[in-house]
Structure 1
């Protein structure tokens, strides 16, 4: 397969079949010698799709919805290459026309005309003419207008601009030291010896920032379970929960299990941890990580967290609800999120989160602790649900570092956007 064929196949799976970009890139990794270009183009198209489509509308006499989806995808790949990668040679156009012949032969002339017209008049076509500030931002940063307006209405313009700019920033990768198998100092020495550039984490004491992470997950030290790839804000949720050794802990929405494994390491393989998630398909990945990290105190269950489980009632000293959410805090790592989220999605998820929280409260013992966290932003899933918990007569707020909650801004904390709150159950 040519590089353009691989890019096309990955993007088609992500945009039309709801696959994850990272999974698809990994699936095709062995089919090209130019994986960096493929990765850059896939993420680039996803991160700029709304803006690219805006330019295609200017060029095409055919309405966007009437263009065959394969043809539109080829045009998006072409416009991205010409405008963002500055490959303005007609050889690129010819390659994409050849790809069109294989995917939709009758549209070869159309694709050729659109891409050549863009090269001739790129400056004018790429200029955004919108008087509405939110609509203009939505196009410029390729974020759905409805979600852009949702963020703006709550946080204001400065925050919205900073968030949208940051959404395409290449994020630093952080790792968590497995203290059951190594020390922070020893791991640092091993990784530096292997050529990795390491910095101390800024949020978690057990984290490192890896500035050149290529090949990290293939390293011997990863396979030996000396560390786990995890963003620092995610680690913080476990450190805020702060479970004691020999306690009973429930991770109610556990997949893919990254926080679960930190719970086991944090409690030194003592006590009992239940990792629950509705998705049985994720069990294999969780079990692989448990084995890799040398963990012994985790059991898996697959209940629907929104439905009450009798066997869990009043059983746990600690409960983590890292709830299913819209993921607006991790768009920089998962760019496809921006195209499958609507305000309606957010409202639905906020309601689901409350059902899960209602059950979680019943699962913890008196004097037990509940942490509610999400990797998103906006009032409906975060502060509104926090206030919902705050009004519960059987819960008491536990401040975190002198604050009612932590809300990490990705563009300030240089980690995922994340919300963390903590409560203690004071009576049944």
Structure 2
């Protein structure tokens, strides 16, 4: 954060509105709220947009700490106090705006010297989440939380149906986007600085997709080959489906399934842009949809619904939207999906179960439970990507062979 930035009042008003929407309006997710805010304020320059974007995410990320420093709980009335606290924490001088009239600067600065009374405040997470992480990860939870509080970098995947990572690096350089290779990742490139790359010609031409390095590991882990019949069970908007299509070189068939038709419509648009032509979409309407596909696939990928605790770096608002009840519900959903979708794999085919969670109860323990109840499956390999170790999102994946 640049402490010498010149603050304009309309930036504070825009930031306040975005935070109010994200925290206090139901079903409003931070990324979409910010996207709309930036779209609405077309007159903001690139530095203004950068300031609002960074401040927005950092205030959401460090809400607990800011509440402690301000000695105020977040409410629609206290948003400006938290904004002021964040600015003071970053050594940015407050301007004499009406929004900051009720801010007691000295009191806040004095509280910066105090120790944090709890670890939940130190790591800026709800207390219930600290208890869950501690009970499942032991002493390691704080290392993971520290990593998850680091803002995510933007990582793209070169679409190998159209271009290599080396060629894409050159193409983007022409458009003034600097990206670097990531050691050990064939098609992943990391952006040097945040820019709106959706406006680039390279994106419009389908030369790349935004996809975290850990997420790219899932497609590789599935070990698909050209000509295979593959089912992506929880395809959503298709990030991993498109990667599978590229790995299969457009040969064979991918059946991308989801319960939400609108997500599959988005997938179709993305597939056209990517030049991925071996994808067929199918809405899961009822159990008959699955029944018709039993014993038919060489590979089934279950990118299961989960808590998303492995991707808090890029979705910090999830910390405040999640609750224990949701996690318990989603674990039951995972169990049912594993049970029902495992029937789609043919004999000697492979089932891949993946989540973007770091909780063993959603990962290893789910797979163990499944194997205990399904003797026709055996575990070939499992991979745990922990944010503190890999430096990217937290992911889990297990490869299961159907033996009969």
- TM (norm. structure 1) is 0.85
For 1:418, which of 388, 395, 401 is the aligned residue?
A: 395
Equivalent in the alignment of 1:125: 111
Matched, 1:389 2:370: yes
Residue 229 of structure 1, CA deviation: 1.1
CA 1:90–1:209 in 2, change beyond 3 Å: closer, same or farther? closer
Is 1:257 the counterpart of 2:238? The answer is: yes
Unaligned runs of 5+ in 1: 98-111, 400-404
Q: How does 1:307-318 map to 2 (within 5 A)?
A: 309-318=290-299
Partner Cα separation in structure 2 for residue 75 and residue 123 of structure 1? 13
Q: Distance in 1 between matches of 2:162 and 2:14?
A: 39
Cα root mean square deviation, aligned: 2.2
Change beyond 3 A, Cα 1:305–1:50: farther
User: SS in structure 2 opposite 1:398?
Assistant: strand
Q: 1:242 & 1:142 partners in 2: Cα distance?
A: 38
Distance 1:27 1:305, change over 3 A: farther
Q: Name the counterpart of 1:9.
A: 17
Structure 1 residue 231: Cα displacement: 0.9
**Equivalent-residue separation in structure 2 for 1:20 and 1:310 (angstroms):** 35
Residue of structure 2 in register with 1:86 after alignment = 91
> How far apart in 2 are the matches of 1:319 and 1:305?
18
Matches within 5 A, 1:59-208: 64=73, 69-83=75-89, 85-89=90-94, 91=96, 94-96=97-99, 112-113=101-102, 115-116=103-104, 119-128=105-114, 136-157=118-139, 159-208=140-189
- Structure 2 residue aligned with 1:52, among 66, 71, 76? 66
Query: What is the CA distance between 1:426 and its match in structure 2?
Result: 0.8
SS at match of 2:357: coil
Which of the pair is proportionally richer in helix? Answer: 1
The answer for the alignment partner of 1:101 in structure 2 is: none
For the 8 Å contact 2:152–2:313, the answer to whether it is kept is yes
Cross-structure match for 2:31: 22
Tell me, in whole angstroms, the C-alpha distance in 1 between the residues paired with 2:16 and 2:313.
Answer: 21
Structure 2, unaligned runs of 5 or more:
1-8
Q: Secondary structure at the match of 1:335?
A: coil
Q: Which residue of 1 aligns with 2:6?
A: none
Corresponding residue to 2:307 among 316, 322, 326: 326
Give the 3 Å change call, closer, same or farther, for CA 258–285 of structure 1 in structure 2.
same
Residues 332-383 of structure 1: per-residue CA shift (max 9 Å, x gap): 1011011112222222111110100011111111111110011111121112
Query: 2:304·2:354 contact (CA, 8 Å) conserved in 1?
Result: yes
Using structure 2 for the length normalisation, give the TM-score.
Answer: 0.90
Tell me what 1:103 maps to.
none
What is the CA distance between 1:327 and its match in structure 2?
0.6
Matches within 5 A, 1:252-331: 252-303=233-284, 309-331=290-312
Instruction: Provide the rounded CA distance (Å) in 2 between the counterparts of 1:130 and 1:204.
Output: 39
**Superposed displacement of residue 24, structure 1:** 1.6
Query: Is structure 2 residue 224 aligned with structure 1 residue 243?
Result: yes
Give, in angstroms, the shift of residue 217 of structure 1: 2.3
CA distance in 2, matches of 1:267, 1:167: 33
Change (3 A) 1:81 1:290: same
Is the CA contact (8 Å cut-off) linking 2:24 and 2:76 kept in structure 1?
no
- 1:257-314 CA distance string (max 9 Å, x none): 1001111111111111111112222233212211110111112122168997222212
Q: Is the 8 A contact 1:250 1:274 kept in 2?
A: yes
* Alpha-carbon spacing, 1:306–1:323, altered in 2? closer, same or farther (3 Å): farther
